[in-house]
């Protein structure tokens, strides 16, 4: 297992070419946020916007429209119950993030199934949170597309069948290869399993142990994938940046709020871009 270092940042975060426009940095849709967990998809969407994704649309319950725009006018909104709109937006996206605050009820399952049926190999799909639980519980087949899963240890147990105590590198690797996915296995020392390597994130602070951290990471992963050409680098750099910013904030804060990490992203990325 390789330990991530700050070198992943300039390897990933390139100086933007002068002659570029918002389309250059990708179209991303984020799907989640039912009536109870609207904050989750708002936090994920904000992370994607502040990471620099070109065009961000949030597919969520209509009850979240107002709070989304109150916090984040830069994101577009769509009602995830509107199948025609969902189909059009998912089809037109470069990156799809599904899961933050999606919930596990029947409509959530239907939405997830619809998205799994729509995605194509030209797109990247990030499956997070309750979407992982749904995949596991309903034994859904993941599509043969570029795939990133961002489970915490219990969600990983559900989808891999490996109990938390048995989640060794070797056991995880077997499951990862079976899933044909990049897996971000979140714990106090997050591990990232890609097709070709395994990485440990040396950073992370218990000040991050609060609701919404994972939603924010999922949005960052999506935002990095939307704009950086090497998907492995994008995932590794997103994970590293998330923790590095949190550690910085934790120098002076007992707890770090997820939205605070997001707000630091533009400055952090600038400080670490390649030249």
Q: Which of the residues 231 through 250 are near its own copies (CB under 8 A)?
A: 250
What separation, in Å, do the N-terminal and C-terminal C-alpha atoms of the chain show?
29
Candidates 90-98, 129-137, 168-176, 199-207: pick the segment binding its own copies (CB under 8 A): 199-207
Question: In 131-248, at which residue ranges do the beta strands (DSSP E only) sit?
Answer: 147-150, 182-185, 191-193, 198-200
Of the pair 116, 238, the CB lying nearest its own copies is at 238
What residues contact 19, with CB distance under 8 A and at least 6 apart? none
Q: How far is the CB of 198 from its own copies (least distance, A)?
A: 20
Cβ density class 227-247: b for 16+ within 10 Å, e for less: bbeebbbbbbbbbbbbbbbbe
| Residues 30 to 59 in contact with its own copies, rule: CB under 8 A | 35-40, 42-43, 46, 49-56
DSSP letter (8 states) at residue 198: E
Asked if 151 is part of the footprint of its own copies (rule: CB under 8 A), the reply reads: no
Residue linked to tokens 């309750």? 130
**Binding residues for its own copies, total number by CB under 8 A:** 72
Asked if 152 is part of the footprint of its own copies (rule: CB under 8 A), the reply reads: yes
Candidates 74-82, 107-115, 161-169, 195-203: pick the segment binding its own copies (CB under 8 A): 74-82
Asked if 255 is part of the footprint of its own copies (rule: CB under 8 A), the reply reads: yes
Task: Please state the residue numbers annotated as binding site for AMP.
Answer: 186-190, 214
| CA atoms of 176 and 122, how far apart (whole Å) | 21
Task: Please state the residue numbers annotated as binding site for (6S)-NADPHX.
Answer: 40, 101, 152, 215
- Could you give the angle at the alpha carbon of 180 between the alpha carbons of 149 and 145, nearest 5°? 80
Asked if 106 is part of the footprint of its own copies (rule: CB under 8 A), the reply reads: no
Of the pair 147, 238, the CB lying nearest its own copies is at 238
Q: Which of 65, 87, 104, 167 binds its own copies (CB under 8 A)?
A: 65
Q: Which of 25, 80, 156, 193 binds its own copies (CB under 8 A)?
A: 25
Asked if 206 and 188 touch (Cβ cutoff 8 Å), the reply is: yes
């Amino acid at each position: 297992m390789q330990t991530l270092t700050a070198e992943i940042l300039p390897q990933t975060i390139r100086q933007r070419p002068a002659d570029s426009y918002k389309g250059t940095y990708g179209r991303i849709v984020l799907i989640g946020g039912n009536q109870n967990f609207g904050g989750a998809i708002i936090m994920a969407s904000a992370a994607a916007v502040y990471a620099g994704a070109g065009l961000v649309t949030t597919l969520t319950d209509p009850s979240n429209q107002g709070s989304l725009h109150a916090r984040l006018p830069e994101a577009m909104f769509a009602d995830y119950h509107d199948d025609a709109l969902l189909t059009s937006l998912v089809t037109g996206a470069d990156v799809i993030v599904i899961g933050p605050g999606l919930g596990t009820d029947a409509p959530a399952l239907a939405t997830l199934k619809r998205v799994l049926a729509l995605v194509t190999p030209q797109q990247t799909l990030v499956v997070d949170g309750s979407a992982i639980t749904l995949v596991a519980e309903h034994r859904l087949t993941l599509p043969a597309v570029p795939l990133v899963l961002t489970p915490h240890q219990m969600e990983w147990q559900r989808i891999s069948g490996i109990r938390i105590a048995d989640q060794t590198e070797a056991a995880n690797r077997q499951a990862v290869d079976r899933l044909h996915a990049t897996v971000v296995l979140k714990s106090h020392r997050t591990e990232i399993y890609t097709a070709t390597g395994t990485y440990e994130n040396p950073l992370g602070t218990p000040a991050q142990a609060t609701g919404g951290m994972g939603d924010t990471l999922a949005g960052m992963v999506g935002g990095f994938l939307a704009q950086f050409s090497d998907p492995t680098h994008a995932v590794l750099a997103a994970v590293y940046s998330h923790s590095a910013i949190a550690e910085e904030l934790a120098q002076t804060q007992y707890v770090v709020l997820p939205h605070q990490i997001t707000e630091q992203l533009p400055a952090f990325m600038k400080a670490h871009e390649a030249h």
